[in-house]
Amino acid sequence: MRTVNVPLGQRRYTIKIGDGLLNRLGPECARLKLGPRCAIITDTNVGRQYAQPAYNSLLRAGFEPSLIVVPAGETAKSLKVVQSCYDRLAAHRLERKSFLVALGGGVVGDLAGFVAATYLRGIPFVQVPTTLLAQVDSSVGGKVGVNLKAGKNLVGAFHQPRLVLCDLNTLGTLPMSEYRAGLAEVIKYGIIYDSTLFTRLERDLPKLLRREPKILTTIVARCCQIKAEVVGQDETENGLRAILNFGHTIGHAIEAISGYGKYLHGEAISIGQIAAARLSAILTRLPLNDATRITDLFRRAGLPIQVKLNASQRAKLFAAMKLDKKVSRGEIRFVLANRIGKVVWGQKVPTSVIEKLLIADSRG
Ligand code: NAD
Ligand code: GLY
């Protein structure tokens, strides 16, 4: 098992990465001195496979768990589903010392985390991420929230989990498209922070695509370490943490205009990261060779690298980008790269430059 610490003073916590950790959920929660009443929030797909072992482990450790199953998919990140969770927690009489377990991917983690942040003005929660994306990114750092029709993650909070348990065995049942989507966040860490990681990904991608346990453990642990270092320095995104949004401005807008669900989050940010790399080549001197390596790695990972949009779709994309949380005084700000492993945030990008790039893709 590998352990990564998230250094946040009183809110510090540990990420545990290994095989079979789901069966240790009860004893791990017992160490946190919480409870006894708790609720597992999961979705229909994950619940079918993993709710029982999680529930039994909590029961054996002396907890009184309740199980809440929400629909699978991005649509569950809604205020309507939040409301239904509150009702279930009230029925189970959860108290301030009670806790939630988010068992699932980023959708369940963001939703359950938001419920935990707001129910009784905040109760503890534990993340048990079951997608690659959630294990390397969304379960760490405390960003929780839900979507509005107007845009993604527009309602939310910072609420750190008390523990993150990454059971690598759960990745065995993850559909390949979802696994690839997680690789988009993995590649992101190489681009924004760690050129050695990027080179390693170029070398070991075939092993990673085969989900070989040894490389998977190393890569998940390195990504968590990077996220922990970034969040440890800038918990509420006043500066450095913005680098984690590389490729997300365009990516989130693609998700919004295509109706959540057409593109997986990881697929949308794959397109967004390649667009950001190309903008970087124009605006922040990213060497062309680095931009090509970035595109090649996403392509080899089986991720989409561009989107074709007509004029009306492009207009919608710009409107969606302007709703992005990273907009400051009406100006869209980007994270751009100087080279693989080094990025700068808060970069103004003229709309005309983005427009040119999108038009080129639509013709290509
Ligand atoms: P997801 O939670 O929708 O999971 C993807 C699909 O895989 C779902 O159908 C789910 O039921 C299924 N699934 C999950 N684990 C499985 C398993 N082990 N076996 C079989 N099926 C499984 O999607 P995701 O990609 O994990 O997360 C995307 C969400 O995460 C988006 O809403 C995004 O905004 C959010 N996100 C949040 C942060 C953050 O910092 N909070 C960071 C990145 C992404
Ligand atoms: N995934 C972006 C962040 O956690 O800040």
**Is residue 312's pLDDT more than 70?**
yes
Domains of the chain and any CATH numbers: 2-173 (3.40.50.1970), 176-363 (1.20.1090.10)
- In Å, what is the CA distance from 29 to each residue of 22, 62, 117, 138, 326? 11, 10, 18, 20, 35
Per-residue confidence (pLDDT) for residue 267, from 0 to 100: 96
To the nearest whole percent, how much of the chain has pLDDT over 70? 97
Q: What spacing in Å lies between the alpha carbon of 48 and ligand 2's midpoint?
A: 28
Per-residue confidence (pLDDT) for residue 176, from 0 to 100: 98
**Is residue 364's pLDDT more than 80?**
no
- Tell me the C-alpha distance between 354 and 257, whole Å: 16
> Ligand 1 atom 32: the closest Cα is on which residue?
107
pLDDT band at 330 (very low <50, low <70, confident <90, very high): low
**Is residue 323's pLDDT more than 70?**
yes
Q: What spacing in Å lies between the alpha carbon of 178 and ligand 1's midpoint?
A: 8
**Positive/negative CA dihedral, 224, 228, 230, 236:** positive
Kind of pairing, strands 125-129 and 163-167? parallel
Stated pTM of the model: 0.96
Per-residue confidence (pLDDT) for residue 130, from 0 to 100: 98
- From the list 152, 222, 241, 326, the catalytic residue is 241
- Does 227 participate in catalysis according to the annotation? yes
Please identify, by atom number, the ligand 2 atom nearest to the C-alpha of residue 244: 2
Average pLDDT on 272-279 reads 97
Per-residue confidence (pLDDT) for residue 361, from 0 to 100: 80
Ligand nearest to the CA of 256: 1
Kind of pairing, strands 13-18 and 163-167? parallel
Q: Is 110 in the pocket of ligand 2 (CB under 6 A)?
A: no
- From the list 188, 227, 278, 326, the catalytic residue is 227
Q: Is 72 in the pocket of ligand 1 (CB under 6 A)?
A: yes
Amino acid identity at 197:
L
**Is residue 328's pLDDT more than 70?**
no
pLDDT band at 326 (very low <50, low <70, confident <90, very high): low
CB-side exposure of 42: number of CA atoms within 13 Å?
24
Q: How many CB atoms lie within 10 A of CB 52?
A: 12
Per-residue confidence (pLDDT) for residue 321, from 0 to 100: 86
- Does 331 participate in catalysis according to the annotation? no
Ligand nearest to the CA of 234: 2
Q: Is 324 in the pocket of ligand 2 (CB under 6 A)?
A: no
Q: pLDDT digit string (tens) for 198-237? A: 999 999 999 999 999 999 999 999 999 999 999 999 999 9
Mutate to test the pocket of ligand 1, among 22, 52, 110, 160 (most ligand atoms within 8 A of CB): 110
Q: pLDDT digit string (tens) for 95-150? A: 999 999 999 999 999 999 999 999 999 999 999 999 999 999 999 999 999 998 87
Q: Is 257 in the pocket of ligand 1 (CB under 6 A)?
A: no
The overall average pLDDT reported for the chain is: 95
Q: Is 137 in the pocket of ligand 2 (CB under 6 A)?
A: yes
Q: How many CB atoms lie within 10 A of CB 356?
A: 12
Range in 10-14, 67-71, 305-309, 360-364 the model is least confident about: 360-364
- In Å, what is the CA distance from 215 to each residue of 168, 201, 220? 11, 10, 8
Per-residue confidence (pLDDT) for residue 150, from 0 to 100: 77
Q: What spacing in Å lies between the alpha carbon of 249 and ligand 2's midpoint?
A: 12
Q: Which residues contact 343 (CB under 8 A, 6 or more apart)?
A: 191, 192, 193, 243, 246, 335, 336, 337
- From the list 245, 267, 278, 333, the catalytic residue is 245
**Is residue 331's pLDDT more than 80?**
no
Q: pLDDT digit string (tens) for 164-202? A: 999 999 999 999 999 999 999 999 999 999 999 999 999
pLDDT band at 260 (very low <50, low <70, confident <90, very high): low
